[in-house]
A and B are shown apart, each in its own frame.
Chain A
Amino acid sequence: MPNTLYDKLWNLHEVDLRADGTYLLYIDRHLIHEVTSPQAFEGLKLAGRKPWRISANIATPDHNVPTTNRSKGLEGIDDEVSKLQVITLDDNCKEHEILQFDINDHRQGIVHVVGPEQGLTLPGMTIVCGDSHTSTHGALATLSMGIGTSEVEHVLATQCLKTSKLKNMRVVISGELQKGVTAKDVTLAVIGKIGTAGGTGYAIEYAGSVIENMSIEGRMTVCNMAIEAGARAGLVAYDLTTEKYIENRPFAPSGDQWIQATKQWSQLVSDDNAFFDHEITIDGSSIAPQVTWGTSPEMVSDIDGLIPESTSDSIKHALEYMNLESGKKIKDIQLDQVFIGSCTNSRIEDLREAAKILEGKKVSDSIKRAIVVPGSGLVSDQAIREGLDKIFIESGFEWRAPGCSMCLAMNPDQLGDGEHCASTSNRNFEGRQGYGGRTHLVSPATAAASSIEGSFVDVREYL
């Protein structure tokens, strides 16, 4: 019987059926960060249990770390409660001898940027993390899912996730993208089409010529937001692009194992005629740069669109919160802050894309603050080697140290009450980027071009 990529990954990891009808799925890699793990380690200790396989785990602090003052390490964290959380991660990793890229390690960064970058994310793996954007790693033909803290504890103790099988959905992006339209616009357009619950209960495989021609960085951006469409997992088939991306990464196999691995990995594609419970196709050439106007990622519009009529309570509530009027042009939304970063868009390709637009230009005076936060220490190093940091700084952006930063504003990087922000992150929920803050999700290119103008612009006209 022909299988989908998801089916194959599932079959490779199914351990046993429990008495309750749920499956134990073997977990190859478990990523850990400071916010969702302390209670899991605590639970383990209280029950007198130990981690099942230490080497499956890898940790890095990201949500709470400040993006300034990093040379001071832990002492650079002003907020005592945040500091305790980062220290607790240190302690738990030390106690269990779990490999951690700690706050002083140049490999530290957002867990979903670090995993692939280090070759800790390898095709064919199952990967979990106490973070919903674990779907990112599916871009490398892995089955990767976000889990809650109880499940973190379960995976630590048993090396298995207790789960049921998802249904298969395929989203085909055909044709070719217009210039200036990026992976972020693709993933937002998909959410606009299927809605934030459209993928609930499914694993979404992204396919079609647009995805095939996309870099791994772009595919990660697309899979990252599968969860915003309600899907626990996003997937892209293995191909030569995947192989090239992984080769020579620190934790990737080498020598004979590399040959053996790539041979295995080449099977990680959906078979012809494999069955999908649901399938949609979007013409890639029809996708315009996207901007969200509301408080849910499905509240999204083409850049040349208008704020919609309030036809439901949800829209009414969102427009009130965002202080926007129906009929107003997206392009007329005035911006206060610009944020380039997050596990959606903080990889080197994203920074290059934004820097290309900013080169020789200045951020508008009406922008109070524009910051760029690389996804990891290594992304930062690479960008500095390419001189991108200088381009950002000269244009008026602040160049920061790696972390989640203003994606969820657990650290000091936050929006002020009522401020509008062009953000390359993934969630425009109320207060997500700061109390009363108003987030508009966009691509790095759109964020950069809009920072010059002070309001949203069509980046296609900027190229």
Chain B
Amino acid sequence: MTLRIGIAGLTGQVGRLVVEEIRAVGLTVAGGTIREGTTKTIPQAVSAFTRIEDLAAVSDVVIDFSHADTTAASAAALVARGIPWVNGNSGLSASDEAAMHAAAERIPVVSANSFAPTAVLVPEVMTRLGGGLPAAEYDVEILETHHHHKVDAPSGTAIAIGKLIARARGQVFDEVAVLGRRGHVGPRKPGAIGFGAIRAGEIVGESSVLFLADDEEIVVTRRVFDRRVYATGAVLAARWAVRQAPGLYGMRDVLAGAAS
């Protein structure tokens, strides 16, 4: 019998992709939760429930891309049935966090802001380079490219990477960050972390870190072609979670486990 995966937040953007991904890898879509009275289209041939308890009753594991405000209800229902929980909701309040931690004492919980496997690993690589290559010799520049609808720059991901590198170099981010150059800005300051932001077309997202020395250059780029990657990672996490002891895990654990 194939693994039955339930989806909390069935009609959301990622929830729909999760349905497709589960089918693509030959597993079973156990069903999904919807908001009572929703007008959104329910994916074909999927049982929809308004209560997470009903979904938990027919699932081996639940992937949750619903909303932070359902956290306590999900935690209670999944713990009651002993069902592993892959939680992709962001913006959890302190009490949501507490509910998730309490649940993790009874069931395996995988929580992540992004389930893209390289979303964790590549910033880690960038940070290790930032720490290992001395700031006096290697200038760091961060370039990100996103679709033309995006309204803020640099991207949150680019800034997060810059902060990690600054910390690895023993710098204070706000003192070294140069967010967008314009006009007679003078020569580059030693130890600066510069940013560039390209907005173009429908590009899903791309981030590069450049380490530039007098005699060598290293560039690390992470590029997303398709939002499906978030669904792929969540299904990978679900398959991994059902084999784990209770505990709170991240994508780092999933990838390390899949590799061993």
A binds B: no
Tell me the B residues contacting A by CB distance below 8 Å: none
